[in-house]
Amino acid sequence: MLTIAAARPSPYTFDLPSTALLVIDMQRDFLEPGGFGESLGNDVDQLRRTVAPLAALLADARAVGLTVVHTREGHLPDLSDCPPAKLLRGAPSKRIGDPGPNGRILVRGEYGHDIIDELVPLPGEPVVDKPGKGAFHATDLDALLTARGIRSLLVTGVTTEVCVHTTVREANDRGYECLVLADCVGSYFPEFHRVALDMIAAQGGIFGWVADSAQVRAALPTTPVLQPSS
Ligand code: TIU
């Protein structure tokens, strides 16, 4: 067992075979100009600080053979999986499905829908396409994790209070332990980011634990101990 002694609200213990690194929605649509995030009026630069620590963590996780799972938020080209409540809400500069500089906004198969170059998935790493904010809603993520014997999630990605939080809540109700890595999750709203992390660790860890990626990287062995996931 490995222990992250400095995790909030208490030390987090996990073992490598039953743990996955979950990378949520690190897509151009959220992190680069011209995509869904910017269409909602957000400053996409707010999310950039997550990229370097997440790339470093990903490299160490891969080196040790940890299971890595990526997710992408997006919709079928005919938008049949996008509820009107999501499509029509608000007054964005562009709606889901509209053409943008990176292709149609938040539509599967478009350049903007894919994961940023710095964090591109390796062959064999599952990429779960999800129509909602939570990664368990209308996906096979639970079955995929169960088949691999995963019970513990190192949670990273964007945005802290939207897709990360929804996924952590869903995971918590399904019996997974979640350690959210504060420097590897990001929000367009610094205050929401801070409070969202506090909400996870409050009340004795009502949804899980919070730590920094450096603490996890320091705890990981330096030689492979697992077969690469397939
Ligand atoms: N708007 C916002 O903060 N986030 C999303 O719409 N999706 C995700 O968080 N991935």
Q: One digit per residue, pLDDT tens: the chain, 230 residues?
A: 999 999 999 999 999 999 999 999 999 999 999 999 999 999 999 999 999 999 999 999 999 999 999 999 999 999 999 999 999 999 999 999 999 999 999 999 999 999 999 999 999 999 999 999 999 999 999 999 999 999 999 999 999 999 999 999 999 999 999 999 999 999 999 999 999 999 999 999 999 999 999 999 999 998 887 665 44
Annotated active-site residue 133? The verdict is: no
Question: 158 CB under 6 A from ligand 1?
Answer: yes
* Residue 154 and residue 22 in contact, taking contact as beta carbons nearer than 8 Å: yes
Query: Which amino acid type is present at position 210?
Result: V
pLDDT recorded at residue 230:
47
pLDDT recorded at residue 43:
97
Question: 163 CB under 6 A from ligand 1?
Answer: yes
Q: Which atom of ligand 1 is nearest to the CA of 73?
A: 10
Question: 106 CB under 6 A from ligand 1?
Answer: no
Marked catalytic residue, from 29, 82, 133, 163: 163
Structure tokens at 73: 């938020």
Give the SS3 label for residue 36: helix
Q: Which pTM does this prediction carry?
A: 0.97
pLDDT recorded at residue 154:
99
Residue of 26, 28, 30 to mutate, ligand 1, most atoms within 8 A of C-beta: 30
CA distances from 19 to 143, 162, 215 (A): 15, 23, 16
Annotated active-site residue 25? The verdict is: yes
Closest CA to 86 of 199, 165, 162, 193: 162
Question: 162 CB under 6 A from ligand 1?
Answer: yes
Structure tokens at 205: 């860890």
* Residue 54 and residue 213 in contact, taking contact as beta carbons nearer than 8 Å: yes
* Residue 16 and residue 227 in contact, taking contact as beta carbons nearer than 8 Å: no
Burial 34-45 (b: 16+ CB within 10 A, else e): bbbbbbeebebe
Closest CA to 170 of 226, 230, 128: 128
pLDDT recorded at residue 223:
81
Chain-centre distance for alpha carbon 126: 13
* Spatial distance between the Cα atoms of 109 and 178, rounded to a whole number of angstroms: 30
Q: Which atom of ligand 1 is nearest to the CA of 188?
A: 3
Question: 31 CB under 6 A from ligand 1?
Answer: no
